[in-house]
Structure 1
Amino acid sequence: MIGKTALLDAIAGTNRGLLASEKQKQAILAAIATLEDLNPTPLPVEASSLLDGNWRLIYTTSKALLNLDRLPFFKLGQIYQYIRVENTSVYNIAEIYGLPYLEGLVSVAAKFEPLSGRRVQVKFNRSIIGWQRLLGYNSPENFIQEIEAGSKFTAIDTAINSDRQQGWLDITYLDKDLRIGRGNEGSLFVLSKV
């Protein structure tokens, strides 16, 4: 699909948006709008088999995520989002790299509730921030299994009041390996299936 190739080409080299110039941001926004018009899945929230799975963030305008790269001596690594449709769970994991043996991790667990065929309400319920070594982190999959098993971690592992920490997300494009979302704070998210 030409629209998809144009978007991926526009995103290439921007390091998830961290390095995007204003001109690149405009080109990406235009490519996203074009692709959204071609969305092959009109009701993405109802397309469980496409939505469910492991996703990697390839572009965002989210200041909250991009600001993780501004920590002194640290750089933002990969950002993953794992969606488990069966139990309406979402796990966000951001890997942080810097000094040897001091690789970090920022993770948030949430529940989602479909509000329409395109929109989900997301209620955040747990935050885990710590050093990858102390967490025993070796992959997002294993880490999520530990969370689902109810493990407590040697980290800042806190419950979040989901009544106060929530938002919504419109899924504006979904196919077998690409997803675009627009959040309630105006942020864009482009993810590829892992």
Structure 2
Amino acid sequence: MIADLNNLTIRRRGYARPTFLPKGRQVDPQHRAQVQQLLGTDELRRDLLIEYLHLIQDRFGCLHSDHLVALASLMSLPMAEVYETATFYAHFDIITEDEKSPPPITVRVCDSLTCEMFGAQELMSQLSNKSNSEVRVVRAPCMGRCDKAPVAEVGHNHVDHADVNSICKAIDSKDLHPVIPRYESYEDYRAQGGYQLLEQCYRGDRCADELV
């Protein structure tokens, strides 16, 4: 149940002062300590909520409801805000106290229109027959790689033009991490003359209307 963590005032008979207790789920000290140890002792920033959720998911393999309550408490945010953010993204796995944690390896098969046209449904069926206690297979929304359909993601590793063999190979070799392509850094771009026109506009050397 989603509940706000704002304070609830309770008056007890015989006491003049009210006692303040948090509404909804109580924070478990053990889970709070785990989250605090993972995220550090620096002040937690609201704009980094998604990054914190990623760190918790990567560390524990899912987002336990107790960890979400602890995170909300540490960030002084309503539980509803943390829960809504976590459930908005398909790659976060929300686990309640009554549910088992997912297997250590998750294979996500893109079910976008393009991937469906290139055999994602058949791939999903073939992979489902190979799932076990160590691997689960789930559908996932568009991964933005339509030119390489069908696409699957093994852990965080995208497998382009995926088939059963390439996915099983990634699983067997524990190739679960993203492949970051080479890219031009901001410093390299500036060193090669990048943003010179923008700087000229800021200095007043060029008029923005000249560039339109």
TM superposition score category, shorter chain reference = under 0.3
Whichever of the two has the greater Rg, that structure is 2
- Structure with the bigger RCO (C-alpha within 8 Å, sep 6+) is 1
> Higher helix proportion, which one?
2
> Higher strand proportion, which one?
1
| TM-score, scaled relative to structure 1 | 0.27
